[in-house]
């Protein structure tokens, strides 16, 4: 079944996606509770109790850590469920079983199996004057149902936003992972790192093993996390830099090799198929989480860990999609993500010229994000992505970019395909040898931008970078 073709019940996945995405957002004060999620789990018979859970929050690194944890567990022979967000191209990317995203048919069938229960919850909410289930609550319920139906041994679940009131927080984590905490989504989570840390520490549950990544604001957030761990009576707390350590790392083709230490042992020369020191720390958190949910006493098998981490692909995170010229896509949208992106490119590429193609959302720290990337980029082409309701208009982004880069380094193309083509032309003009070495294009600023660019740059869709006719999904 393709994205446009119906299943046996006559429903296409595009129809189901539109039906789900038309629901209320969870980002408002009336939706800040877990009542609807608890209600639908009651109706389902609490399928979430049938599998172990790794629950992952943090401002950055959630998706990478989740995929690495899942890969280790699956390589060890466990049946795995993986729930991530947002999707880049297709909504069924969000739910995967045994490393494979749900097929279009299975996604539609999962929705059909629980839609009557969703309707019951919606009706009860309406009687109480409360909103219907949000689109993220529905997707979370679908993931839980699919994981129990498989059935999986362990579910690796990425928080959508925050933690305390996130729909995924109806789960009780065996391993609760809190990655780096920084300023992002302030209109919903709070204007300080302390407020944001309080939200994210909400995923800690009684008996959980808490795994805490390296914190850029350690003095501010660690007391909050440690207090939450004590109040919830976490089974143990493992912190990057203390109980957990990246002992060493060195560059390798396509990624890096790192030596990682957990309380159970030292894993030497682990290949990690991603660039950047931050990915070594994500791998460390994933390894610690996997040790919790894999039923093995002591350290895991180093060869299996190496096999798993050497093959993890994380779409839209410092992802090289073309050569000659080199084109890199990154969906990070905050200052911490920009810093990691810049450091990884400076460490792993020898660029003489990098032209940025940037489209961002209005609610982000746009000037600070651009300022972090300014030393890396020779020029910047500002543009817009396909999320018209939230994207910053290119003209407005242009004015901010001029403050950061100076007017002579800023160009504007309102359509993303045109912006990419312009950037490619600019690096081609400077590439005297015509081989692409030393010249690159970086497309970044939002996961929507990353998803749009991945569709545009697929060889079979758009080999000449001409503007495609397919609409964003």
| pLDDT tens-digit map of 330-379 | 999 899 899 999 999 999 999 999 999 999 999 888 999 999 999 999 99
Band (pLDDT 50/70/90 cuts) for residue 470 is: very low
**For residue 47, what are the contacts with CB-CB under 8 A and spacing of at least 6?**
41, 144, 145, 147, 148, 149
Q: Residue 463 above 50 pLDDT? A: no
What confidence score (pLDDT) does residue 434 get? 58
Band (pLDDT 50/70/90 cuts) for residue 395 is: very high
Burial status of residue 45 (CB atoms within 10 A of its CB: 0-12, 13-18, 19 or more): exposed
Predicted TM-score (pTM) of this structure:
0.90
Percent share of the chain, pLDDT over 90: 81
What confidence score (pLDDT) does residue 445 get? 96
Looking at domain 13-309, its CATH architecture is 3-Layer(aba) Sandwich (3.40)
Distance of alpha carbon 233 from the chain centroid: 28
Mean pLDDT of 74-94: 95
Mean pLDDT of 252-263: 95
What confidence score (pLDDT) does residue 363 get? 86
What confidence score (pLDDT) does residue 210 get? 98
Q: Considering the domain 319-456 in this protein, what is its CATH number?
A: 3.90.190.20
DSSP 341-408: HHHHHHHH---SEEEEEE--BTTS-HHHHHHHHTTT-SEEEEEE-S-TTTBPPHHHHHHHHHHHH-GG
**For residue 93, what are the contacts with CB-CB under 8 A and spacing of at least 6?**
84, 87, 101, 315
What confidence score (pLDDT) does residue 187 get? 61
Taking only the tens place, the pLDDT of each residue in 6-57 is: 555 568 999 999 999 999 887 665 567 899 999 999 999 999 999 999 999 9
Taking only the tens place, the pLDDT of each residue in 118-132 is: 999 999 999 999 999
What confidence score (pLDDT) does residue 431 get? 72
Distance of alpha carbon 61 from the chain centroid: 7
Domain range annotation of the chain: 13-309, 319-456
Q: Residue 469 above 60 pLDDT? A: no
Contact 1, 7 (CB under 8 A): yes
1 vs 266: CA distance, rounded Å: 46
Mean pLDDT, the chain, whole residue set: 91
Taking only the tens place, the pLDDT of each residue in 49-70 is: 999 999 999 988 999 999 999 9
Q: Residue 467 above 80 pLDDT? A: no
454 vs 345: CA distance, rounded Å: 19
């Amino acid at each position: 079944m393709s994205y446009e073709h119906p299943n046996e019940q006559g429903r296409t996945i595009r129809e189901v996606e539109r039906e789900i995405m038309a629901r209320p957002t969870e980002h408002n004060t009336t939706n800040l509770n877990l009542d609807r999620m608890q209600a639908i789990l009651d109706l389902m018979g609490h399928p979430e109790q049938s599998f172990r859970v790794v629950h992952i929050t943090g401002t950055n690194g959630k998706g990478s850590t989740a995929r690495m944890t899942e890969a280790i567990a699956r390589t060890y022979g466990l049946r795995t469920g993986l729930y991530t967000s947002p999707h880049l191209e297709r909504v069924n990317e969000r739910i995967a079983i045994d490393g494979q995203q749900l097929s279009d048919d299975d996604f539609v069938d999962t929705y059909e199996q629980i839609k009557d229960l969703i309707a019951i919850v919606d009706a009860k909410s309406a009687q109480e004057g409360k909103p219907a289930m949000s689109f993220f609550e529905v997707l979370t319920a679908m993931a839980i149902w699919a994981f129990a139906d498989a059935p999986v041994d362990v579910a690796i679940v990425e928080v959508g936003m925050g933690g305390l009131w996130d729909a995924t927080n109806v789960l009780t984590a065996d391993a609760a992972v809190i990655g780096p905490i920084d300023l992002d989504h302030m209109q919903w989570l709070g204007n300080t790192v302390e407020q944001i840390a309080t939200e994210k520490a909400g995923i800690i549950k009684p008996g959980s093993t808490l795994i805490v990544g390296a914190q850029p604001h350690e003095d501010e957030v660690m007391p909050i996390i440690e207090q939450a761990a004590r109040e919830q009576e976490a089974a143990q707390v493992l912190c990057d830099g203390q109980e957990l350590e990246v002992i060493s790392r060195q560059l390798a083709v396509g990624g890096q090799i790192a030596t990682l230490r957990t309380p159970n042992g030292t894993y030497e020369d682990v290949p990690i198929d991603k660039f950047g020191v931050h990915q070594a720390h994500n791998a460390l958190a994933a390894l610690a989480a996997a040790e919790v949910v894999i039923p093995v006493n002591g350290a895991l098998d180093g060869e299996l860990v190496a096999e798993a981490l050497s093959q993890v692909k994380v779409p839209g995170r410092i992802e090289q999609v073309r050569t000659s010229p080199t084109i890199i896509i990154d969906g990070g949208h905050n200052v911490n993500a920009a810093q990691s992106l810049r450091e990884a490119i400076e460490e792993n590429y020898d660029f003489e010229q990098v032209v940025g193609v940037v489209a961002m959302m209005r609610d982000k720290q746009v000037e600070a994000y651009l300022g972090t990337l300014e030393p890396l980029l020779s020029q910047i082409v500002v543009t817009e992505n396909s999320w018209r309701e939230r994207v910053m208009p290119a003209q407005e982004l242009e004015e901010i970019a001029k403050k950061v880069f100076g007017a002579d380094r800023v160009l504007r193309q309102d359509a993303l395909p045109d912006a990419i083509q312009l950037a490619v032309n600019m690096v081609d003009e400077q590439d005297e040898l015509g081989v692409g070495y030393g010249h690159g294009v970086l497309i970044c600023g939002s996961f929507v931008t990353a998803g749009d660019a991945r569709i545009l740059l697929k060889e079979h869709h758009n080999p000449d970078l001409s503007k495609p006719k397919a609409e964003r999904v």
